[in-house]
Amino acid sequence: MNVTRESIHEALYALGSGAAGLNFKSRILLHWDAVTPGQMPAFFQAYVGETSKKVYRQPAIWTMNFRWYVYVHVENADDPNGPMSVMNPIIDALEKSLGPPPGYLGGDPQTLGGLVSHAWLEGDIETDEGTLGQTAVAIIPVNVVATS
């Protein structure tokens, strides 16, 4: 790649961890039991892996796969809205920060400041929707495409 993997990891982390209202942020994934309620909402970025596609005499195209983890906690166990009322605005902000998906005609893609061709949310957002009680977890799949 013309840019380093680390510069891509750092730029994506800066984008995600910049979402409003986060109390704790890390590129080292912790289990939600290891994060105190006072540290939540918490954000983590995990690197899942990458895939290369190479065509003869063309630069390799790398698709890098990340997961953004968000943990939230509500103090009031009787809150009828539960922790998802805190989680949903954070997910919305993270999605918005990534911009339009590839091929969308409504705007420019997220390029992480020109480091990559595009970064976007793709796949299922997994959440427990508060079945953990006062804590909720969301796992957000993010893909990044770069060329070598």
The whole-angstrom separation of Cα 11 and Cα 117 is 13
* Residue range 1-44, pLDDT digits in tens: 568 999 999 999 999 999 999 999 999 999 999 999 999 999 99
Q: At how many degrees (to 10) do helices 5-17 and 84-98 cross?
A: 130
* Residue range 76-87, pLDDT digits in tens: 877 778 888 899
Provide the whole-model pTM. Answer: 0.90
- Is beta strand 61-73 parallel, antiparallel or unpaired with respect to 135-147? antiparallel
What is the CATH topology of the domain spanning 5-147? Alpha-Beta Plaits (3.30.70)
Number of CB atoms found within 10 A of residue 98's CB: 23
